[in-house]
Amino acid sequence: MSIRSTAYSHEQDKLLCIMYMEIAQDPITGIYQSSDNFLSPVEQAYNNSKIQSWEIRSKRSVQSCIHTIEKATRKMHAYIRQVENRHISGSSNEDIVSIYICY
């Protein structure tokens, strides 16, 4: 029987995204490897950088959280493309996001 950890807070999500991006952009570690090999350094970096009062996260927990964030990111990206395809002249990123929020 596995024990579920608590949900990630906004700040924990943010830290996890930062660690994920740093490791993904590292030319040595990079993202061109198996998911298992990639997530180990993400898990380690997150746990080493977290605030001491936050619980330690397992690789499975990190993987699940990243999957949820990626799913939301893909959905937002699709909405942004829809708005961009409208070819609204002079639209800023803020305009695009505000239109996305209205969806």
In a domain, 35, yes or no: yes
In a domain, 65, yes or no: yes
Question: For the chain, what is the mean pLDDT?
Answer: 81
Q: Is residue 2 situated within a structural domain? A: no
Q: What is the mean pLDDT of residues 82-97?
A: 71
Number of domains in the chain: 1
Note down the domain range covering 18.
Answer: 10-102
What would the 3-class secondary structure string for the chain be?
CCCCCCCCCHHHHHHHHHHHHHHHCCCCCCCCCCHHHHHHHHHHHHHHHCCCCCCCCCHHHHHHHHHHHHHHHHHHHHHHHHHHCCCCCCCCHHHHHHHHHHC
pTM for this predicted structure: 0.69
